[in-house]
Amino acid sequence: MPVRPPEPPVDRVPAKAPEQRRPSRLSAPLRETGRLFALAGTVCRETFRRPFQVREFIEQFWFVASVTILPAALVSIPFGAVIALQVGSLTQQLGAQSFTGGASVLAVIQQASPIIVALLVSGAAGSAICADLGSRKIREELDAMEVMGVSPVQRLVVPRVLATMLVAVLLNGLVSVVGTLGGYFFNVIMQDGTPGAYLSSFSALAQLPDLYVSEIKALIFGFIAGIVAAYRGLNPRGGPKGVGDAVNQSVVITFMLLFFVNMVLTAIYLQIVPAKGS
């Protein structure tokens, strides 16, 4: 006795097309943003889940630090010098040379240093993290990991994000020092500023919260760089070319976010922390 098919398969197809809500083109960016925030939330939660991946964290920390320290130091010298020269010539016109030191140091510590750090962490380390995760994704390694009951976010993303954050904070100290020294050197040697006035204006204009906000910015920027790199790396669009595009996008998205977040943070800081002496 022949076995009949339950129904001719061909007829059934158009009759019962699943009634899914069609995602509109407009909501795509919103969805991406939402998923980025969801990943950030997951990373925060998984950070506190045992076992913490110490080994992976140390390896990643070492890697991020090794690719960013030298470029950061080299970039910060001319950057500090440019700010010192510009501020120096401006204050000279205004007749306020004695405040050159304080003004340039504030600019370096509060603005230039966290931004330089973030650009380097994102450009040098974030791109590598994104490419690494992206190639693992397309080779199904992350799927394999998930199938084995190991969360890729907890195992791979959390150590990387923490590494970028810690490196950003530490590197921010380095860049601040090197940038300030560069500014001092150029002001004193090139513009005939007096060392005493340069140093004493530090304490006249700058205060400790300036240093705190600089480190907080670096911490947040490091987090953003890590999260964006991981997000783009975990969601490459098809094949090796998709990974290349993802790396590219991760750097561009991080840069845009950085400058926006920096603006917000600066505005908030200037509102809530009174300037020195006021």
Q: Look up residue 166 and give its amino acid.
A: L
- Residue 3 binds other proteins (CB under 8 A): yes
Give the C-alpha distances (Å, rounded to integers) separating 124 from 157, 253, 277. Answer: 17, 14, 40
- The reply on whether position 151 binds other proteins by CB under 8 A is yes
2 binds other proteins (CB under 8 A): yes
**Binding window for other proteins (CB under 8 A); candidates: 27-35, 123-131, 148-156, 250-258:** 148-156
Q: Per rule CB under 8 A, is residue 95 in the interface with other proteins?
A: no
* Candidate residues 72, 136, 210, 213; the one interacting with other proteins per rule CB under 8 A: 136
Q: Among 32, 46, 146, 245, which residue sits at the site for other proteins (rule: CB under 8 A)?
A: 146
What single-letter amino acid sits at 129? I
Q: Residue 90 interacts with other proteins (CB under 8 A)?
A: no
Interaction of residue 13 with other proteins, rule CB under 8 A: yes
- The SS3 assignment for 67 reads helix
Residue at 1: amino acid letter: M
Q: How far is the CB of 228 from other proteins (least distance, A)?
A: 23
150: tokens are 């190991």
User: Residue 192 class from Cβ within 10 Å (0-12 exposed, 13-18 middle, 19+ buried)?
Assistant: exposed
Least Å from the CB of residue 161 to other proteins: 19
Stretch that binds other proteins, among 8-16, 106-114, 179-187, 224-232 (CB under 8 A): 8-16
Distance separating alpha carbons of residues 116 and 206, to the nearest angstrom: 20
Least CB distance from residue 258 to other proteins, whole Å? Answer: 30
Verify binding: residue 26, other proteins, rule CB under 8 A: no
Q: Single out the residue of 66, 86, 140, 267 in contact with other proteins (rule: CB under 8 A).
A: 140
Range in contact with other proteins (rule: CB under 8 A) among 75-83, 146-154, 196-204, 228-236: 146-154
137 binds other proteins (CB under 8 A): no
Q: Is 149 in the site for other proteins (CB under 8 A)?
A: yes
- Whole-angstrom CA distances from 70 to 64, 120, 143 are 11, 10, 36
* Closest by CA position to 229, among listed 110, 155, 134, 142: 134
How many CB atoms sit inside 10 A of residue 164's CB? 30
Select from 20, 93, 271, 278 the one that contacts other proteins (CB under 8 A): 20
* Pairwise CA distance, residues 170 & 180, whole Å: 16
Per-position DSSP letters for 200-225, written without gaps between them:
HHHHHH--HHHHHHHHHHHHHHHHHH
> Can you give the binding site for other proteins, defined by CB under 8 A?
1-3, 5-6, 9-10, 12-13, 16-18, 20, 135-136, 139-141, 143-151, 155
